[in-house]
A and B are shown apart, each in its own frame.
Chain A
Amino acid sequence: MKSARQRPSRPANPPDPAAAYRHSVAIDGEKCRGCTHCLAHCPTQAIRVRGGKARINPALCIDCGECIRRCPHQAKKAVFDKLSDLPKEKIHRIALPAPSLYGQFDRLSDVDYVLQGLLELGFDGVYEVAKAAEIVTAYTRRYLARTDIPRPVISSACPTVSRLISLRFPSLCRCIIPILPPIELASRAARIEAAKAHPDWDPASIATVFISPCPAKASYVKNALYGEKSDVDAVLSMSEVYFALLNVIHPGTTPTIQSQTGMIGMGWASTGGESSALLNDRYLAADGIENVIHVLDQMETGDFRTLEFVELNACPAGCVGGAATVENPYLARVRLQALRRYLPVARQYLPRGGAVPKKVRFAKPIEPKPILLAASRLEAMKKMQAIEKILPTLPGLDCGSCGAPTCRAFAQDLVEGTVQMDDCIVRLRESVAAQKSAEITESAPKESQ
Protein backbone atom coordinates (compact mmCIF):
# COMPACT_ATOMS: atom_id res chain seq x y z
CA MET A 1 0.00 0.00 0.00
CA LYS A 2 2.60 2.48 1.10
CA SER A 3 4.95 1.92 -1.78
CA ALA A 4 2.13 2.47 -4.22
CA ARG A 5 1.33 5.78 -2.63
CA GLN A 6 4.90 6.97 -2.79
CA ARG A 7 4.94 6.84 -6.53
CA PRO A 8 4.58 10.32 -7.99
CA SER A 9 1.15 10.81 -9.48
CA ARG A 10 1.27 11.32 -13.21
CA PRO A 11 -1.11 13.40 -15.28
CA ALA A 12 -3.44 11.27 -17.34
CA ASN A 13 -1.48 11.68 -20.54
CA PRO A 14 -2.20 9.44 -23.49
CA PRO A 15 0.03 6.40 -23.71
CA ASP A 16 3.11 7.61 -25.43
CA PRO A 17 4.69 5.50 -28.16
CA ALA A 18 7.73 7.77 -28.32
CA ALA A 19 8.55 7.76 -24.61
CA ALA A 20 11.31 5.28 -25.17
CA TYR A 21 12.98 7.53 -27.74
CA ARG A 22 16.56 8.17 -26.68
CA HIS A 23 17.62 11.74 -27.20
CA SER A 24 20.90 13.53 -27.72
CA VAL A 25 19.91 16.97 -26.50
CA ALA A 26 20.07 17.42 -22.73
CA ILE A 27 19.82 20.16 -20.14
CA ASP A 28 22.61 21.03 -17.75
CA GLY A 29 20.63 21.62 -14.55
CA GLU A 30 23.37 23.69 -12.98
CA LYS A 31 23.73 26.11 -15.85
CA CYS A 32 20.01 26.48 -16.58
CA ARG A 33 18.63 29.65 -15.05
CA GLY A 34 15.06 29.04 -16.06
CA CYS A 35 14.96 31.89 -18.55
CA THR A 36 12.54 31.45 -21.41
CA HIS A 37 14.73 31.78 -24.49
CA CYS A 38 14.50 28.14 -25.47
CA LEU A 39 10.74 27.91 -24.94
CA ALA A 40 9.73 30.16 -27.80
CA HIS A 41 12.11 28.57 -30.27
CA CYS A 42 11.32 24.93 -29.72
CA PRO A 43 9.49 23.91 -32.91
CA THR A 44 7.47 21.18 -31.19
CA GLN A 45 6.82 23.06 -27.92
CA ALA A 46 8.62 20.28 -26.09
CA ILE A 47 10.11 22.52 -23.38
CA ARG A 48 8.57 23.77 -20.15
CA VAL A 49 10.23 25.66 -17.33
CA ARG A 50 9.24 24.08 -14.02
CA GLY A 51 10.73 24.85 -10.64
CA GLY A 52 13.09 27.34 -12.26
CA LYS A 53 14.62 24.86 -14.70
CA ALA A 54 13.88 23.94 -18.28
CA ARG A 55 12.67 20.42 -18.98
CA ILE A 56 12.39 18.66 -22.30
CA ASN A 57 9.47 16.34 -23.02
CA PRO A 58 11.13 13.35 -24.69
CA ALA A 59 7.93 12.41 -26.48
CA LEU A 60 8.03 15.66 -28.45
CA CYS A 61 11.75 16.46 -28.81
CA ILE A 62 13.08 16.03 -32.34
CA ASP A 63 16.75 16.71 -31.49
CA CYS A 64 16.92 19.68 -33.81
CA GLY A 65 19.37 21.49 -31.53
CA GLU A 66 17.48 24.78 -31.77
CA CYS A 67 17.54 25.15 -27.96
CA ILE A 68 21.30 24.58 -27.96
CA ARG A 69 21.70 27.49 -30.36
CA ARG A 70 19.35 29.78 -28.46
CA CYS A 71 20.44 29.18 -24.86
CA PRO A 72 22.39 32.22 -23.61
CA HIS A 73 23.82 30.20 -20.70
CA GLN A 74 25.07 27.16 -22.61
CA ALA A 75 22.76 25.05 -20.49
CA LYS A 76 21.66 22.83 -23.39
CA LYS A 77 24.12 20.33 -24.61
CA ALA A 78 24.40 17.81 -27.35
CA VAL A 79 25.20 14.37 -26.03
CA PHE A 80 27.66 12.37 -28.10
CA ASP A 81 29.61 9.18 -27.57
CA LYS A 82 33.22 8.95 -26.53
CA LEU A 83 35.69 6.55 -28.09
CA SER A 84 36.35 5.21 -24.59
CA ASP A 85 32.68 4.09 -24.41
CA LEU A 86 33.20 1.54 -27.19
CA PRO A 87 33.27 -2.09 -26.07
CA LYS A 88 36.81 -3.33 -25.44
CA GLU A 89 36.81 -5.86 -28.26
CA LYS A 90 36.14 -3.13 -30.83
CA ILE A 91 39.79 -2.35 -31.39
CA HIS A 92 39.66 -1.46 -35.08
CA ARG A 93 38.01 1.88 -35.60
CA ILE A 94 36.89 3.27 -38.92
CA ALA A 95 36.12 6.98 -39.06
CA LEU A 96 33.06 8.06 -41.05
CA PRO A 97 33.52 11.80 -41.58
CA ALA A 98 30.45 13.77 -42.65
CA PRO A 99 31.27 16.03 -45.62
CA SER A 100 30.46 19.09 -43.48
CA LEU A 101 33.72 18.37 -41.60
CA TYR A 102 35.76 19.50 -44.60
CA GLY A 103 34.19 22.95 -44.50
CA GLN A 104 35.40 23.61 -40.96
CA PHE A 105 39.03 24.20 -41.89
CA ASP A 106 40.51 27.47 -43.01
CA ARG A 107 42.76 27.38 -46.10
CA LEU A 108 42.37 23.68 -46.66
CA SER A 109 43.54 22.91 -50.19
CA ASP A 110 42.64 19.24 -50.27
CA VAL A 111 40.27 16.96 -48.40
CA ASP A 112 43.02 14.33 -48.25
CA TYR A 113 44.73 16.24 -45.42
CA VAL A 114 41.66 15.86 -43.23
CA LEU A 115 41.41 12.15 -44.02
CA GLN A 116 45.11 11.74 -43.24
CA GLY A 117 44.57 13.67 -39.99
CA LEU A 118 41.93 11.14 -38.94
CA LEU A 119 44.48 8.34 -39.40
CA GLU A 120 46.98 10.36 -37.36
CA LEU A 121 44.40 10.56 -34.57
CA GLY A 122 44.51 6.77 -34.37
CA PHE A 123 41.65 5.66 -36.59
CA ASP A 124 42.48 2.47 -38.48
CA GLY A 125 40.63 3.52 -41.57
CA VAL A 126 38.39 6.18 -43.08
CA TYR A 127 35.24 5.83 -45.14
CA GLU A 128 33.81 9.10 -46.39
CA VAL A 129 30.10 9.58 -45.85
CA ALA A 130 30.19 11.78 -48.95
CA LYS A 131 31.14 8.69 -50.94
CA ALA A 132 28.05 6.88 -49.67
CA ALA A 133 26.03 10.02 -50.44
CA GLU A 134 26.92 9.66 -54.12
CA ILE A 135 25.60 6.13 -54.02
CA VAL A 136 22.37 7.34 -52.39
CA THR A 137 22.07 9.95 -55.15
CA ALA A 138 22.35 7.22 -57.77
CA TYR A 139 19.67 5.11 -56.07
CA THR A 140 17.44 8.15 -55.64
CA ARG A 141 17.52 8.74 -59.40
CA ARG A 142 16.38 5.17 -59.89
CA TYR A 143 13.61 5.58 -57.33
CA LEU A 144 12.37 8.78 -58.96
CA ALA A 145 12.11 6.99 -62.29
CA ARG A 146 9.26 4.93 -60.86
CA THR A 147 5.71 6.00 -61.64
CA ASP A 148 4.03 4.23 -58.72
CA ILE A 149 5.41 6.32 -55.85
CA PRO A 150 3.81 9.14 -53.85
CA ARG A 151 5.20 12.50 -54.97
CA PRO A 152 6.87 14.78 -54.20
CA VAL A 153 9.50 12.53 -52.69
CA ILE A 154 11.04 13.83 -49.44
CA SER A 155 14.69 13.23 -48.56
CA SER A 156 15.41 10.85 -45.66
CA ALA A 157 18.85 12.32 -44.89
CA CYS A 158 17.92 14.64 -42.00
CA PRO A 159 16.69 12.55 -39.06
CA THR A 160 15.19 15.62 -37.38
CA VAL A 161 12.98 16.19 -40.40
CA SER A 162 11.94 12.54 -40.54
CA ARG A 163 10.94 12.55 -36.88
CA LEU A 164 9.19 15.91 -37.28
CA ILE A 165 7.16 14.44 -40.13
CA SER A 166 6.17 11.37 -38.14
CA LEU A 167 4.98 13.52 -35.19
CA ARG A 168 3.53 16.61 -36.82
CA PHE A 169 2.93 15.74 -40.47
CA PRO A 170 1.97 12.05 -40.26
CA SER A 171 0.20 12.06 -43.61
CA LEU A 172 3.53 12.81 -45.33
CA CYS A 173 5.37 9.76 -43.92
CA ARG A 174 4.59 7.93 -47.13
CA CYS A 175 6.47 10.54 -49.18
CA ILE A 176 9.79 10.02 -47.39
CA ILE A 177 12.15 8.16 -49.68
CA PRO A 178 12.60 4.67 -48.21
CA ILE A 179 16.32 4.65 -48.98
CA LEU A 180 18.77 4.55 -46.09
CA PRO A 181 20.68 7.77 -45.46
CA PRO A 182 24.40 8.11 -46.37
CA ILE A 183 25.55 7.61 -42.75
CA GLU A 184 24.03 4.11 -42.72
CA LEU A 185 25.30 3.01 -46.11
CA ALA A 186 28.74 4.41 -45.25
CA SER A 187 28.93 2.33 -42.08
CA ARG A 188 27.94 -0.87 -43.84
CA ALA A 189 30.29 -0.29 -46.77
CA ALA A 190 33.13 0.66 -44.40
CA ARG A 191 32.76 -2.65 -42.58
CA ILE A 192 32.86 -4.64 -45.81
CA GLU A 193 35.80 -2.65 -47.12
CA ALA A 194 37.75 -3.08 -43.86
CA ALA A 195 37.10 -6.81 -43.77
CA LYS A 196 38.40 -7.11 -47.33
CA ALA A 197 41.49 -5.02 -46.69
CA HIS A 198 42.27 -6.76 -43.40
CA PRO A 199 41.23 -10.42 -43.58
CA ASP A 200 43.07 -10.92 -40.28
CA TRP A 201 40.66 -8.65 -38.39
CA ASP A 202 37.86 -10.30 -36.48
CA PRO A 203 34.63 -8.72 -37.84
CA ALA A 204 33.48 -8.23 -34.24
CA SER A 205 36.54 -6.08 -33.62
CA ILE A 206 35.53 -3.43 -36.18
CA ALA A 207 33.76 -0.29 -35.01
CA THR A 208 32.41 2.44 -37.29
CA VAL A 209 32.57 5.93 -35.82
CA PHE A 210 30.54 8.74 -37.35
CA ILE A 211 31.86 12.28 -37.00
CA SER A 212 28.66 14.25 -36.69
CA PRO A 213 27.68 17.86 -37.26
CA CYS A 214 24.55 17.52 -35.12
CA PRO A 215 22.97 15.72 -32.15
CA ALA A 216 20.15 14.43 -34.36
CA LYS A 217 22.46 11.95 -36.07
CA ALA A 218 23.47 10.63 -32.65
CA SER A 219 19.78 10.10 -31.88
CA TYR A 220 19.28 8.46 -35.24
CA VAL A 221 21.91 5.86 -34.36
CA LYS A 222 20.33 5.18 -30.96
CA ASN A 223 16.73 4.84 -32.07
CA ALA A 224 16.30 2.64 -35.14
CA LEU A 225 14.41 5.45 -36.84
CA TYR A 226 14.20 3.58 -40.13
CA GLY A 227 13.02 0.27 -38.78
CA GLU A 228 16.17 -1.50 -37.71
CA LYS A 229 19.16 -0.95 -35.48
CA SER A 230 21.79 1.32 -36.99
CA ASP A 231 25.04 -0.26 -38.09
CA VAL A 232 27.05 2.67 -36.68
CA ASP A 233 28.87 1.94 -33.41
CA ALA A 234 29.54 5.44 -32.11
CA VAL A 235 28.85 9.08 -32.95
CA LEU A 236 31.42 11.72 -32.08
CA SER A 237 30.93 15.46 -31.97
CA MET A 238 32.41 17.23 -34.97
CA SER A 239 33.68 20.11 -32.86
CA GLU A 240 35.63 17.78 -30.59
CA VAL A 241 37.21 15.97 -33.51
CA TYR A 242 37.91 19.31 -35.19
CA PHE A 243 40.04 20.58 -32.33
CA ALA A 244 41.96 17.29 -32.17
CA LEU A 245 42.51 17.41 -35.93
CA LEU A 246 43.94 20.94 -35.80
CA ASN A 247 46.99 19.53 -34.04
CA VAL A 248 47.68 16.77 -36.53
CA ILE A 249 46.90 18.30 -39.92
CA HIS A 250 50.18 19.19 -41.63
CA PRO A 251 49.67 20.59 -45.11
CA GLY A 252 53.37 20.19 -45.95
CA THR A 253 53.30 16.40 -45.90
CA THR A 254 51.97 14.03 -48.53
CA PRO A 255 48.81 12.20 -47.47
CA THR A 256 48.81 8.43 -47.84
CA ILE A 257 45.04 8.35 -48.27
CA GLN A 258 42.95 9.73 -51.11
CA SER A 259 39.42 11.05 -51.12
CA GLN A 260 37.01 9.02 -53.24
CA THR A 261 34.36 11.67 -53.47
CA GLY A 262 33.33 13.97 -56.28
CA MET A 263 31.40 17.23 -56.39
CA ILE A 264 28.08 15.53 -55.81
CA GLY A 265 29.05 13.77 -52.58
CA MET A 266 30.65 16.86 -51.10
CA GLY A 267 27.62 18.91 -52.08
CA TRP A 268 25.42 17.03 -49.62
CA ALA A 269 26.96 19.09 -46.79
CA SER A 270 24.84 22.10 -47.62
CA THR A 271 21.28 22.70 -48.72
CA GLY A 272 20.61 22.10 -52.39
CA GLY A 273 23.49 19.69 -52.80
CA GLU A 274 21.44 16.54 -52.47
CA SER A 275 18.63 17.73 -54.71
CA SER A 276 20.66 19.43 -57.43
CA ALA A 277 22.60 16.17 -57.79
CA LEU A 278 19.44 14.53 -59.08
CA LEU A 279 19.83 16.46 -62.34
CA ASN A 280 16.14 17.22 -62.24
CA ASP A 281 14.88 20.78 -62.14
CA ARG A 282 11.68 20.08 -60.28
CA TYR A 283 13.03 20.11 -56.77
CA LEU A 284 12.70 22.29 -53.72
CA ALA A 285 15.41 22.65 -51.09
CA ALA A 286 14.75 24.41 -47.79
CA ASP A 287 16.60 24.74 -44.52
CA GLY A 288 16.10 26.07 -41.02
CA ILE A 289 13.48 24.31 -38.91
CA GLU A 290 10.85 27.06 -39.23
CA ASN A 291 11.12 27.12 -43.01
CA VAL A 292 10.95 23.35 -43.08
CA ILE A 293 7.70 23.45 -41.10
CA HIS A 294 6.24 26.01 -43.51
CA VAL A 295 7.09 23.83 -46.49
CA LEU A 296 5.59 20.73 -44.85
CA ASP A 297 2.42 22.63 -43.95
CA GLN A 298 2.05 23.70 -47.57
CA MET A 299 2.79 20.22 -48.85
CA GLU A 300 0.00 18.88 -46.68
CA THR A 301 -2.38 21.43 -48.14
CA GLY A 302 -1.57 20.02 -51.55
CA ASP A 303 0.82 22.64 -52.85
CA PHE A 304 3.96 21.66 -54.76
CA ARG A 305 2.13 18.93 -56.65
CA THR A 306 4.36 19.39 -59.67
CA LEU A 307 7.56 18.87 -57.68
CA GLU A 308 9.57 15.68 -57.90
CA PHE A 309 11.82 16.00 -54.90
CA VAL A 310 11.89 17.95 -51.65
CA GLU A 311 15.12 18.29 -49.69
CA LEU A 312 14.64 19.55 -46.15
CA ASN A 313 17.37 20.29 -43.64
CA ALA A 314 16.61 21.31 -40.07
CA CYS A 315 19.76 23.41 -39.74
CA PRO A 316 20.45 26.76 -41.40
CA ALA A 317 22.38 26.22 -44.66
CA GLY A 318 22.11 22.45 -44.16
CA CYS A 319 24.43 20.09 -42.28
CA VAL A 320 27.17 22.75 -42.21
CA GLY A 321 24.84 24.60 -39.81
CA GLY A 322 24.58 21.70 -37.35
CA ALA A 323 24.77 22.45 -33.63
CA ALA A 324 28.06 20.53 -33.30
CA THR A 325 29.92 22.38 -36.05
CA VAL A 326 32.52 25.05 -35.35
CA GLU A 327 32.50 27.37 -38.32
CA ASN A 328 29.85 29.79 -39.51
CA PRO A 329 27.67 27.66 -41.81
CA TYR A 330 27.78 30.08 -44.72
CA LEU A 331 31.54 30.33 -44.57
CA ALA A 332 31.79 26.54 -44.38
CA ARG A 333 29.62 26.33 -47.48
CA VAL A 334 31.89 28.71 -49.39
CA ARG A 335 34.93 26.66 -48.42
CA LEU A 336 33.25 23.48 -49.61
CA GLN A 337 32.51 25.16 -52.91
CA ALA A 338 36.20 25.93 -53.30
CA LEU A 339 37.16 22.37 -52.36
CA ARG A 340 34.69 20.96 -54.88
CA ARG A 341 35.75 23.13 -57.77
CA TYR A 342 38.23 20.87 -59.51
CA LEU A 343 36.72 17.54 -58.56
CA PRO A 344 35.06 15.17 -60.98
CA VAL A 345 31.25 15.43 -60.88
CA ALA A 346 31.00 12.09 -59.08
CA ARG A 347 33.26 9.18 -58.32
CA GLN A 348 30.59 6.62 -57.55
CA TYR A 349 28.34 5.43 -60.32
CA LEU A 350 25.57 2.96 -60.79
CA PRO A 351 24.31 1.76 -64.14
CA ARG A 352 21.17 3.63 -65.18
CA GLY A 353 17.82 2.04 -64.64
CA GLY A 354 17.33 -1.00 -62.49
CA ALA A 355 15.73 -1.38 -59.10
CA VAL A 356 16.64 -0.09 -55.66
CA PRO A 357 17.96 -3.20 -53.89
CA LYS A 358 16.48 -4.28 -50.59
CA LYS A 359 19.76 -3.83 -48.74
CA VAL A 360 19.63 -0.06 -49.16
CA ARG A 361 15.95 0.30 -48.31
CA PHE A 362 14.27 0.91 -44.94
CA ALA A 363 13.51 -2.26 -43.04
CA LYS A 364 10.11 -0.76 -42.16
CA PRO A 365 8.35 2.37 -43.38
CA ILE A 366 8.39 5.40 -41.09
CA GLU A 367 5.47 5.17 -38.73
CA PRO A 368 3.08 8.09 -38.31
CA LYS A 369 2.99 8.99 -34.60
CA PRO A 370 0.71 12.03 -34.33
CA ILE A 371 0.70 13.91 -31.03
CA LEU A 372 -2.75 13.34 -29.54
CA LEU A 373 -4.42 15.36 -26.83
CA ALA A 374 -5.91 12.18 -25.36
CA ALA A 375 -6.18 8.54 -26.25
CA SER A 376 -9.88 8.70 -27.19
CA ARG A 377 -11.44 11.38 -29.34
CA LEU A 378 -14.21 12.00 -26.84
CA GLU A 379 -11.71 12.68 -24.11
CA ALA A 380 -9.65 14.84 -26.47
CA MET A 381 -12.74 16.87 -27.40
CA LYS A 382 -13.47 17.51 -23.74
CA LYS A 383 -9.93 18.68 -23.18
CA MET A 384 -10.00 20.88 -26.27
CA GLN A 385 -13.24 22.42 -25.08
CA ALA A 386 -11.69 23.19 -21.71
CA ILE A 387 -8.65 24.71 -23.44
CA GLU A 388 -10.81 26.90 -25.68
CA LYS A 389 -12.75 28.06 -22.61
CA ILE A 390 -9.63 29.05 -20.69
CA LEU A 391 -7.88 30.69 -23.65
CA PRO A 392 -9.90 33.95 -23.76
CA THR A 393 -9.22 34.52 -20.05
CA LEU A 394 -5.44 34.48 -20.61
CA PRO A 395 -3.52 37.61 -21.63
CA GLY A 396 -2.55 36.25 -25.05
CA LEU A 397 0.97 37.62 -24.82
CA ASP A 398 2.77 34.29 -25.20
CA CYS A 399 5.40 35.78 -22.88
CA GLY A 400 6.62 32.46 -21.51
CA SER A 401 6.80 33.70 -17.90
CA CYS A 402 4.56 30.85 -16.75
CA GLY A 403 7.04 28.36 -18.14
CA ALA A 404 4.96 27.39 -21.19
CA PRO A 405 5.80 28.70 -24.67
CA THR A 406 2.33 30.10 -25.47
CA CYS A 407 -0.89 30.92 -23.67
CA ARG A 408 -2.46 28.04 -25.53
CA ALA A 409 0.20 25.62 -24.26
CA PHE A 410 -0.39 27.01 -20.76
CA ALA A 411 -4.12 26.41 -21.11
CA GLN A 412 -3.38 22.84 -22.11
CA ASP A 413 -1.05 22.41 -19.13
CA LEU A 414 -3.83 23.76 -16.89
CA VAL A 415 -6.25 21.21 -18.30
CA GLU A 416 -3.68 18.47 -17.82
CA GLY A 417 -3.33 19.65 -14.22
CA THR A 418 0.42 20.28 -14.33
CA VAL A 419 0.15 24.04 -13.54
CA GLN A 420 -2.14 26.42 -11.68
CA MET A 421 -3.80 29.61 -12.87
CA ASP A 422 -1.57 31.65 -10.52
CA ASP A 423 1.45 30.50 -12.53
CA CYS A 424 0.37 33.07 -15.11
CA ILE A 425 2.33 36.10 -13.92
CA VAL A 426 0.17 38.57 -15.83
CA ARG A 427 -3.03 37.22 -14.29
CA LEU A 428 -1.42 37.11 -10.86
CA ARG A 429 -0.38 40.75 -11.12
CA GLU A 430 -3.90 41.72 -12.10
CA SER A 431 -5.39 39.88 -9.17
CA VAL A 432 -2.88 41.44 -6.76
CA ALA A 433 -3.72 44.89 -8.15
CA ALA A 434 -7.44 44.19 -7.81
CA GLN A 435 -6.91 43.03 -4.24
CA LYS A 436 -4.95 46.18 -3.40
CA SER A 437 -7.56 48.53 -4.81
CA ALA A 438 -10.22 46.63 -2.90
CA GLU A 439 -8.22 47.14 0.31
CA ILE A 440 -7.87 50.85 -0.41
CA THR A 441 -11.61 51.25 -0.96
CA GLU A 442 -12.27 49.39 2.25
CA SER A 443 -9.87 51.49 4.28
CA ALA A 444 -10.84 54.82 2.64
CA PRO A 445 -13.92 55.62 4.80
CA LYS A 446 -11.89 54.94 7.95
CA GLU A 447 -9.34 57.60 6.95
CA SER A 448 -12.03 60.19 6.38
CA GLN A 449 -13.39 59.70 9.85
Chain B
Amino acid sequence: MSEPVVFTYPIDGNNFTSAGGASVAVKQNLRALGFPDDVVRRVSIAMYEGEINMVIHAHGGTATVTVGEDEITIVLADRGPGIADVERAMQEGYYTAPDNIRALGFGAGMGLPNMRRYTDEMRIDSVVGTGTTVTMKVRIPEEGA
Protein backbone atom coordinates (compact mmCIF):
# COMPACT_ATOMS: atom_id res chain seq x y z
CA MET B 1 0.00 0.00 0.00
CA SER B 2 1.49 3.29 -1.04
CA GLU B 3 0.57 6.75 0.14
CA PRO B 4 -2.01 8.55 -1.96
CA VAL B 5 -0.89 11.18 -4.47
CA VAL B 6 -2.50 14.57 -3.95
CA PHE B 7 -2.95 17.19 -6.67
CA THR B 8 -4.15 20.66 -5.76
CA TYR B 9 -5.34 23.26 -8.24
CA PRO B 10 -6.49 26.80 -7.65
CA ILE B 11 -9.54 27.52 -9.82
CA ASP B 12 -9.46 31.07 -11.12
CA GLY B 13 -12.97 32.47 -10.86
CA ASN B 14 -12.26 35.48 -13.01
CA ASN B 15 -11.07 33.60 -16.03
CA PHE B 16 -13.86 31.82 -17.83
CA THR B 17 -11.75 30.92 -20.85
CA SER B 18 -9.26 28.91 -18.78
CA ALA B 19 -11.99 26.97 -16.97
CA GLY B 20 -11.55 23.25 -17.42
CA GLY B 21 -7.75 23.40 -17.24
CA ALA B 22 -7.46 21.54 -13.95
CA SER B 23 -9.60 18.74 -15.33
CA VAL B 24 -7.21 18.35 -18.27
CA ALA B 25 -4.17 18.30 -15.96
CA VAL B 26 -5.78 15.63 -13.76
CA LYS B 27 -6.66 13.57 -16.81
CA GLN B 28 -3.06 13.59 -18.02
CA ASN B 29 -1.74 12.59 -14.60
CA LEU B 30 -4.24 9.77 -14.17
CA ARG B 31 -3.38 8.48 -17.60
CA ALA B 32 0.35 8.56 -16.87
CA LEU B 33 -0.42 6.56 -13.74
CA GLY B 34 -2.04 3.90 -15.90
CA PHE B 35 -5.65 4.13 -14.70
CA PRO B 36 -8.24 2.51 -16.95
CA ASP B 37 -9.91 4.73 -19.55
CA ASP B 38 -13.28 4.57 -17.89
CA VAL B 39 -11.92 5.86 -14.56
CA VAL B 40 -9.97 8.65 -16.26
CA ARG B 41 -13.05 9.68 -18.19
CA ARG B 42 -15.39 9.70 -15.21
CA VAL B 43 -13.00 11.69 -13.03
CA SER B 44 -12.27 14.24 -15.74
CA ILE B 45 -15.93 14.79 -16.62
CA ALA B 46 -17.03 15.13 -12.99
CA MET B 47 -14.16 17.45 -12.32
CA TYR B 48 -14.83 19.50 -15.46
CA GLU B 49 -18.46 20.05 -14.54
CA GLY B 50 -17.49 21.02 -11.00
CA GLU B 51 -14.81 23.36 -12.21
CA ILE B 52 -17.21 25.14 -14.57
CA ASN B 53 -19.74 25.46 -11.73
CA MET B 54 -17.15 27.07 -9.49
CA VAL B 55 -16.30 29.61 -12.16
CA ILE B 56 -19.93 30.41 -13.10
CA HIS B 57 -21.39 30.59 -9.60
CA ALA B 58 -18.69 30.92 -6.99
CA HIS B 59 -15.78 33.08 -8.21
CA GLY B 60 -13.49 30.06 -8.24
CA GLY B 61 -12.01 28.05 -5.40
CA THR B 62 -9.74 25.07 -4.91
CA ALA B 63 -9.81 21.59 -6.38
CA THR B 64 -8.02 18.83 -4.52
CA VAL B 65 -7.71 15.41 -6.06
CA THR B 66 -6.48 12.56 -3.91
CA VAL B 67 -5.44 9.50 -5.84
CA GLY B 68 -5.36 6.37 -3.76
CA GLU B 69 -4.95 2.82 -4.87
CA ASP B 70 -8.61 1.92 -4.77
CA GLU B 71 -10.39 5.25 -5.05
CA ILE B 72 -9.98 8.79 -6.30
CA THR B 73 -11.46 11.58 -4.22
CA ILE B 74 -12.23 14.99 -5.70
CA VAL B 75 -12.91 17.86 -3.33
CA LEU B 76 -14.10 21.14 -4.81
CA ALA B 77 -14.24 23.91 -2.26
CA ASP B 78 -15.42 27.45 -2.86
CA ARG B 79 -16.44 30.51 -0.87
CA GLY B 80 -19.30 31.38 -3.16
CA PRO B 81 -22.93 32.18 -2.39
CA GLY B 82 -23.80 28.63 -1.38
CA ILE B 83 -26.72 26.53 -2.65
CA ALA B 84 -30.04 27.30 -0.96
CA ASP B 85 -31.90 24.18 -2.06
CA VAL B 86 -29.48 21.35 -2.78
CA GLU B 87 -32.19 18.87 -3.67
CA ARG B 88 -33.59 21.18 -6.30
CA ALA B 89 -30.14 21.98 -7.66
CA MET B 90 -29.61 18.27 -8.23
CA GLN B 91 -32.61 18.06 -10.57
CA GLU B 92 -31.78 17.70 -14.24
CA GLY B 93 -32.52 20.86 -16.16
CA TYR B 94 -32.78 23.12 -13.13
CA TYR B 95 -30.46 26.06 -13.66
CA THR B 96 -29.55 29.38 -12.14
CA ALA B 97 -26.80 30.42 -14.56
CA PRO B 98 -27.18 33.89 -16.07
CA ASP B 99 -28.22 34.28 -19.72
CA ASN B 100 -24.80 35.34 -20.97
CA ILE B 101 -23.31 32.06 -19.68
CA ARG B 102 -26.20 30.04 -21.10
CA ALA B 103 -25.62 31.68 -24.47
CA LEU B 104 -22.20 29.97 -24.49
CA GLY B 105 -23.83 26.58 -24.14
CA PHE B 106 -23.25 26.21 -20.41
CA GLY B 107 -25.76 26.34 -17.60
CA ALA B 108 -28.13 23.71 -18.96
CA GLY B 109 -28.84 22.43 -15.48
CA MET B 110 -26.86 19.24 -16.07
CA GLY B 111 -23.68 20.01 -14.12
CA LEU B 112 -24.53 18.57 -10.71
CA PRO B 113 -26.61 15.65 -12.11
CA ASN B 114 -23.67 14.73 -14.37
CA MET B 115 -21.26 14.90 -11.46
CA ARG B 116 -23.43 12.48 -9.56
CA ARG B 117 -23.87 10.22 -12.57
CA TYR B 118 -20.15 9.85 -13.23
CA THR B 119 -19.04 9.28 -9.65
CA ASP B 120 -19.72 6.52 -7.15
CA GLU B 121 -20.31 8.84 -4.25
CA MET B 122 -21.10 12.52 -4.01
CA ARG B 123 -21.72 14.83 -1.10
CA ILE B 124 -22.59 18.51 -1.11
CA ASP B 125 -21.94 20.61 1.98
CA SER B 126 -23.25 24.07 1.42
CA VAL B 127 -23.97 27.05 3.63
CA VAL B 128 -25.68 30.03 2.05
CA GLY B 129 -23.41 33.03 2.22
CA THR B 130 -20.36 30.98 3.17
CA GLY B 131 -19.61 28.55 0.39
CA THR B 132 -19.94 25.05 -0.97
CA THR B 133 -17.79 21.96 -0.76
CA VAL B 134 -18.49 19.12 -3.14
CA THR B 135 -16.83 15.79 -2.38
CA MET B 136 -16.88 13.07 -5.02
CA LYS B 137 -15.41 9.59 -5.07
CA VAL B 138 -14.67 7.35 -7.99
CA ARG B 139 -13.80 3.80 -7.05
CA ILE B 140 -11.23 1.94 -9.09
CA PRO B 141 -12.32 -1.49 -10.26
CA GLU B 142 -9.88 -4.22 -9.33
CA GLU B 143 -7.50 -5.03 -12.11
CA GLY B 144 -8.45 -8.04 -14.14
CA ALA B 145 -11.91 -7.92 -12.60
- Interface residues, chain A, CB within 8 Å of chain B? 168, 170-171, 297-298, 300-302, 368, 370-374, 376-378, 380-382, 384-385, 388
Contact = CB atoms under 8 A, between A and B. Distances in A.
A168 B28 CA distance: 8
Main secondary structure of the interface of A (DSSP, over half): helix
Please tell me the size bucket of the interface on B. Answer: 20 to 34
A381 B33 contact: yes
B37 A381 contact: no
A370 B29 CA distance: 11
A371 B32 contact: yes
B20 A372 contact: no
Nearest to A377: B34
Given A300-B41, A301-B20, A372 B7 contact: no
Interface string B18-29: 001001100111
B-side interface mostly: helix
B45 interface: yes
A168 B30 CA distance: 12
Interface in B64-78: 67, 69
B2 A373 contact: no
16 contacts: A170-B31, A297-B20, A300-B27, A301-B20, A368-B37, A371-B32, A372-B34, A373-B32, A374-B34, A376-B34, A378-B69, A380-B34, A381-B33, A381-B69, A384-B5, A385-B2
A171 B41 contact: yes
Given A297-B27, A381-B5, A388-B5, 9 more contacts: A171-B41, A297-B20, A300-B44, A301-B48, A380-B32, A381-B69, A384-B29, A385-B2, A388-B6
B85 interface: no
A378 B2 contact: yes
B33 A384 contact: yes
A370 B27 CA distance: 12
Contacts of A300: 27, 41, 44
A171 B20 contact: no
A377 B68 CA distance: 11
Contacts of B54: none
B35 interface: yes
B87 interface: no
Interface string B42-75: 0011001000000000000000000101000000
B40 interface: yes
Contacts of A170: 31, 37
B99 interface: no
B7 A388 contact: yes
Nearest to A167: B31
Interface-central residue, A297, A298, A368, A374, by most chain B CB under 10 Å: A297
A385 B5 CA distance: 6
B32 A372 contact: yes
A189 to B, nearest CB: 37
B112 to A, nearest CB: 15
Nearest to B38: A171
B45 A301 contact: yes
A300 B69 CA distance: 23
B33 A297 contact: no
Contacts of B2: 378, 381-382, 385
Interface in B125-144: none
